[in-house]
A = this chain, B = another copy of it.
Amino acid sequence: MQQNKGRVTLPSQQNFLEETKELMERWGADALRDSDGTKLDEEIKQLNAKVYTTYFVARSHNEFAEKHLEEMQQLYLMSKFNTATGNELTIAFLDGYFEEQVEADYIHDVKKWWEVIDRTTGEVVDPVKWQVDKVQNVLIITDAIPWHEYTVSFLAYMKWDPTQMYNHITNDWGDKPHEIPFDVRQPHSNQFVKNYLQKWLKGNPDTDVVRFTTFFYHFTLIFNNLGEEKFVDWFGYGASVSVAALEAFAEEKGYRLRPEDIVDQGYYNSTFRTPTKAYLDYMDFIQKFTVSEIKSLVEEVHGHDKEAMMFLGDNWIGAEPYGKYFKDTGIDAVVGSVGDGTTLRMIADIPHVKYTEGRFLPYFFPDTFYDGNDPVLEAKENWLTARRALMRKPLDRIGYGGYLSLAYKFPSFVDYVGKITNEFRSIYELIHEVKPYSGLKVAVLNAWGRLRTWQTHMVAHGKYYKQTYSYQGVLEALSGSATDVTFLSFDDVIKSGIPDDVDVLINAGDASTAFSGGECWLDETLTSTIREWVYNGGGFIGIGEPTAFHHQGRFFQLADVLGVDKELGFSLSTNKHFTETVDAHFISENITSYDFGESTDNVYALREDAEVIEYSNGSIHLSSSSYGKGRGVYMAGLPYSHENTDLLMRSLYYAANKEKQFNVWHASNPYCEVHAYPDIKKYTVVNNSAEKQVTHVYLGTGISYEVALEPCEMKWEDYANEG
């Protein structure tokens, strides 16, 4: 059944024809791509492979952009906080920004479009009380209240595309021109984008796939005065703003946005902020426009018998694949970077496209491919991590990025990728149209729901944050587990209740973030709906500071469901009697040592019947509680590991009151997993580790046997009837 060719995309480069042919052969590649900075030779384009060509819509056309600087992309920025020491306060609002990236918009009336806020009171300062010195780039408040802090929210032009800026600075591209981003909403830009694509399509007959990198609005990426990253938000709509957009918004939605709706106290509506109605409206407005413009570009591409592929990254704002308009784009494929199981699922689960493609790690860059380093290690870790998720929902294609010539110098790496590509194809062939066995359906509940499917607790692709890893582990564990996973927003629950097929809700995050929910938990429909549902048999897992908003004597608003709450200091006078741990518990049966990551402190049980599973240093870190016919489970944090995946799976089964079904299509060893495919009567036992493992394997009937697995091994087996 092993396929030696197909479903693999390689980067190529100039003067690398023979080696490209060899690697295509060894890895079974059927597509070749260029990169930002590399072009393909003619001979390479004529090889027996699809050709992907990178296409920039709204940058990389300075010949146009320089003629229409008034259509340059804009953004709203906030100055630093400035304390008034007297009645006059001068604010150098550009202070801390990178002058090569941004400049103030003095074309539009500053009194209309800018906002000065007294951050001590939160009040907007009357524009008659300030003026702007456009030469010095300062704003002077003439009637400041001494010792109050002030900020200026100002409209700026973004003169340099952030991705090119990043590459330019990182790779020291010297005086290579700065690519100017322009706003497709503006008349000349809109026309240019369409005309240029038409011309380009005609001029690139060898291109099979137009790889849009991406469309119009770049995620927010702002540099500081030293040319270093100052602010990055992969989800940020900051750089989608313009006067034209704001006017169109007012027209469409019937009210005007304030600068503060975008600036948001300097948080710029980070995904960690529970979104305001104004911001949701703005996102909707940008998405609707973006999708309709993408649609016309895609139609043009199709008109030239080519495919349109979207790179998930860079200028993807408004084109979110889980957004409600995405299906209208007509996009054929999405490609994105696969750092782990979570990002694999983020790509693989995208609906409405013909195929998905994952770019695997490592990149063929000198930071990995240097003498004395073994790139196989990173490749293996990446593959093992991603493979779990692939078993649940395979990508349609995989690929690599960077300089093929670098990889070529590492024969053991070339060998290993050959194994990966073969294994990928064999998995794909078997299961791509087959639904895997799932023991449970899990819904991740937060303020974003479906829009941020597999994207919770992310700031920027692959960046580690001390504040997030203890929650990201939940998604990573789920990404390769035998569960169906869905994403629900609070509004979904308020409007439509909890879908019938959901077994367990998970709410995970720090207090007041969009992922925990903050003030949303004051909505009585939300809490009542969940209480009723759990009471009637549902499962609710809270991680970190779930349902947290201090109100009416409770911090966790579903403390009754969870059986625990967090001590804020107000109830120290109340004795905390229930600290005895249970002797044994289904959830902790397999655990050898706990790792709650950053963990959560000062959690205590409200009731004697709460089952305290782990208690240390004066705090509960793991517990469960009955609530009617249902159950609540509390966990202090869940960084990703094989043991924690086991812990989460046990918690899910326990919460769902389905412990008896736990040992079905299951491997007892946390380093191993079983994936079963009832429609084809096959299952596989997978060793997710790079060491040998022995495990009990439980079949669909619950019958078990022991098996030994080589490092990384997958053992496929057929089974009859129930298994």
Which A residues are within 8 Å of any B CB, using their own CB? 81, 83, 85, 117, 119-122, 145-149, 151, 220, 224, 228-233, 236, 265-268, 270, 272-273, 459-460, 465-468, 509-513, 524, 527-529, 531-532, 535, 550-554, 559-560, 567-575, 577, 598, 601-602, 617-618, 628
Contacts and interface: CB of A to CB of B under 8 A. Distances in A.
Of residues A554, A569, A617, which shows the largest number of chain B Cβ atoms within 10 Å of its Cβ? A569
A510 B466 contact: no
A265 B567 CA distance: 14
A628 B85 CA distance: 9
A628 B84 CA distance: 12
A274 to B, nearest CB: 10
The 5 closest A-B pairs by CB, nearest first: A265-B553, A147-B528, A233-B573, A147-B531, A119-B552
Given A532-B146, A570-B270, A628-B85, A575 B265 contact: no
Nearest to A574: B231
A575 B120 contact: no
A435 to B, nearest CB: 35
B569 A512 contact: yes
A265 B573 CA distance: 13
26 contacts: A81-B553, A83-B531, A83-B560, A120-B524, A120-B552, A121-B524, A122-B552, A147-B528, A147-B529, A151-B553, A224-B577, A228-B577, A230-B574, A233-B573, A265-B552, A266-B553, A267-B570, A270-B570, A270-B573, A272-B570, A272-B572, A459-B572, A459-B573, A460-B573, A465-B572, A512-B568
A616 to B, nearest CB: 12
B552 A510 contact: no
A635 to B, nearest CB: 18
Given A220-B573, A467-B572, 14 more contacts: A119-B554, A122-B552, A147-B527, A148-B528, A151-B553, A229-B575, A230-B574, A232-B575, A459-B572, A459-B573, A466-B602, A468-B572, A510-B569, A511-B568
Contacts of A572: 270, 272, 459, 465, 467-468
Contact of A567 (B230, B236, B467, B553): B467
Contact of A466 (B529, B571, B617): B617
B146 A528 contact: yes
Contacts of A266: 553, 571, 574
B513 A570 contact: yes
A617 B597 CA distance: 12
A528 B147 CA distance: 5
Of residues A220, A228, A270, which shows the largest number of chain B Cβ atoms within 10 Å of its Cβ? A270
Contacts of A524: 120-121, 145, 148
A216 to B, nearest CB: 21
A272 B569 contact: yes
Given A270-B571, A459-B572, A571-B270, A553 B119 contact: yes
Contacts of A229: 575
A617 B270 CA distance: 24
Contacts of A527: 120, 147
Nearest to A151: B553
A122 B63 CA distance: 63
A576 to B, nearest CB: 10
A179 to B, nearest CB: 23
A578 B471 CA distance: 26
Contacts of A267: 553, 570-571, 573
Contacts of A567: 467
Nearest to A534: B147
A231 B120 contact: no
A627 to B, nearest CB: 9
A554 B120 CA distance: 10
Given A568-B510, A575-B230, A602 B270 contact: no
Nearest to A598: B601
Nearest to A560: B83
A306 B267 CA distance: 68
Contacts of A511: 568
A440 to B, nearest CB: 24
A229 B120 CA distance: 44
A465 B270 CA distance: 36
A270 to B, nearest CB: 5
Contacts of A628: 85
A653 to B, nearest CB: 25
Contacts of A559: 81
